[in-house]
Each structure stands twice: as structure tokens, then as C-alpha cells.
Amino acid sequence: MAEDIVLDNTLTREQQYQQLIPQIEGLLSGETNLIANLGNIAAALKSGFGFLWVGFYLVDGDELVLGPFQGPPACTRIRKGKGVCGTSWDKAETLVVNDVDAFPGHIACSSLSRSEIVVPIVRNDKVAMVLDVDSEHLNNFNATDKIYLEKICSLIQI
């Protein structure tokens, strides 16, 4: 049976990531199915931190297509270079958006989203997918989230 995700909410977010990562490693250990693992990572981040939306978009030709996620229903396809996700894919770099209304071309899947971070997952020199995390609070992501979400993404075996 999978364990419930437990994070101590008196800790800093950095300390919470340090608590979460071994729990994610436990969820991934012994399982090679990509969809199962992406689903559990999205669930761990959503239930650990209570973010509005956590999920993956997978590269499919010249588009991203919605993969495993937790949160409200979302747009299914995003073209390369469009929105925060498509821009992160195009640049192959993590984007932290403090205020989604200030990001030109931001794609509003939920009217509640105020800030966002997108991490590209690169394999064999190509972006294979992106992790997208949305918050209903402005300025909810910073360099700490970038470091730890990139670390979590590095655990994904493709």
C-alpha cells in the first residue's frame, strides 16, 4: 500500500521538499511505468503542498499533450512556444512566473491561477515533457522550488 504524504507545516518549504523527496523516491522505487510514476509525483506534490494544479505535459510532435495531473480539468494541447509551458519547452529552461497576468501569452486553464513554475524534463538532449505547477497565490514560487522540483524531475526514469 502507498503511504500518505506527510509534511510538517511548521517547516520551511525547503525543509518540506527535503521531507518530500524520500517519500517520492519510495513511491517510485520498484516501478518503471512512466504514467504510474508521473501520477504519483503529481499526487505527492498536490497533497503535500496543496498547490492549485500539478501535472505533466508530454511532448507529442510539435505540441504538448496533457499527461497525469492533479487539480481542475486543464487544456489538453499546447503548441511549442505558446504559454508558459510551451515557452519552457522551447527554451529548455525552468520558468518561474510570479504573476501569470504579466506573462505575455499565458494560457489560463484556471481563472484561479496567479503564479506558476514550469520545469522541462530533458532526456537525450531533447525536452520530453514538462512539469507544471500552478498556485492561486501571487509569487508562490522561487529559486528553492526551482532547485527541488528539478531534483524531483531528475528522479523520473523515461
| Site for ligand SME, rule CB under 6 A | 53, 74-75, 78, 83-86, 106-107, 109, 113, 116, 132, 134
Q: Cβ closer to ligand SME: 65 or 74? A: 74
Dihedral angle over CA of 67, 72, 77, 79, nearest 10: -110
Q: Name beta bridge partners: 59.
A: 64
Q: How far is the CB of 150 from ligand SME (least distance, A)?
A: 18
DSSP string across 109-137: SSTT--EEEEEEEEETTEEEEEEEEEESS
Q: Cβ closer to ligand SME: 7 or 84? A: 84
Q: How far is the CB of 113 from ligand SME (least distance, A)?
A: 6
Q: Cβ closer to ligand SME: 90 or 150? A: 90
Q: How far is the CB of 46 from ligand SME (least distance, A)?
A: 12
Q: Name beta bridge partners: 77.
A: 65
Question: What are φ and ψ of residue 47, in 5° steps?
Answer: -75, -30
Q: Cβ closer to ligand SME: 39 or 86? A: 86
Q: How far is the CB of 64 from ligand SME (least distance, A)?
A: 8
Residue at shortest CB range from ligand SME:
83
Q: Name beta bridge partners: 122.
A: 127
Q: Cβ closer to ligand SME: 116 or 145? A: 116
8 A C-beta contact, residue 116 and residue 52: no
Three-state DSSP class for residue 83 = helix
